[in-house]
Amino acid sequence: MDKLLSERVIVKIPKYNIPVKHVEPVMIPIDKMLPHEEIVSKRLEDLIDLIKSLNAVDLPLIIAPIPGTDKYLIVDGHHRWAALKALGAKKAPAIIVDYFDPSIKLHTWYPAFTGDLELFLEELRKASLEYSVCVKEEAIERIDRSGYAFILIGRNNTCILIHGGIEEQKKVSHILDKLSSKGLIKLVYYGLKDDALKDLESKDIEYVLLRKPPSKEEVIEVVKKGEVFSPKTTRHVLPYIPAKTYTPLSMCF
């Protein structure tokens, strides 16, 4: 399934046979919820407009208790949370889950693009990001190791290691967003690595950026530190898709 994230960004969503389930949300204070990813300003604007037009919150947030605190991790619904916060709301409709339940899966997204590689590398240098050329076969074996923000693989055996961690991933994401918003690259986010590599092989894309998916423990650790990942770092899969509940906006104040 493809989804248009913005005018220039496409998201390739994996197909799952997940049932839709109605769960009555509970109202939770917004200041008790903590995000684990950065907010995309354009997406936030769209959500604010949607909530205003509906005069309701169509979907509940998915949250989970953060061990050792009285706070909740936002598993899904970062932009709804940020939109309600921007509107001055005090509470948000939410479904509380056990984050460490094995039925809740954690994956990542893989950004890919078509465009001028040298332009991308120039932006890496401007951002003081370190990178080095590598051998494609060896790099793929290193994907699940730490120490690399991304491993870029392209046509003609192009392979580049972008060194670093969370902060460097943020910089790379900002570069991709900047080049995409200017129309200099065509940006696509893949939910599955195999789909990205297949499209790379079939020449639907020119370059894909692979990375090690974070663990649930790493997500909790980052949030406890008051930090966040770059947008579209985590991809959570729940055992069900929450049905729309359309909580009246008035209930959020």
What are the φ/ψ torsions at residue 166 (nearest 5 degrees)?
A: -60, -50
Q: In sequence order, what are the beta bridge partners of 6?
A: none
Structural tokens at position 241: 């898709």
Q: Is 37 an annotated catalytic residue?
A: yes
What's the N-to-C CA distance of the chain in angstroms? 36
CA distance 91 to 31: 8
Give the β-pairing of 185-190 and 9-12. parallel
How many whole angstroms separate alpha carbon 228 and alpha carbon 156?
A: 35
Six token digits for residue 200: 């790379």
Residue of 24, 37, 38, 201 marked catalytic: 37
What are the Cα distances from residue 167, in Å, to 38, 65, 66, 80, 217?
11, 25, 23, 24, 18
Catalytic amino acids? 37
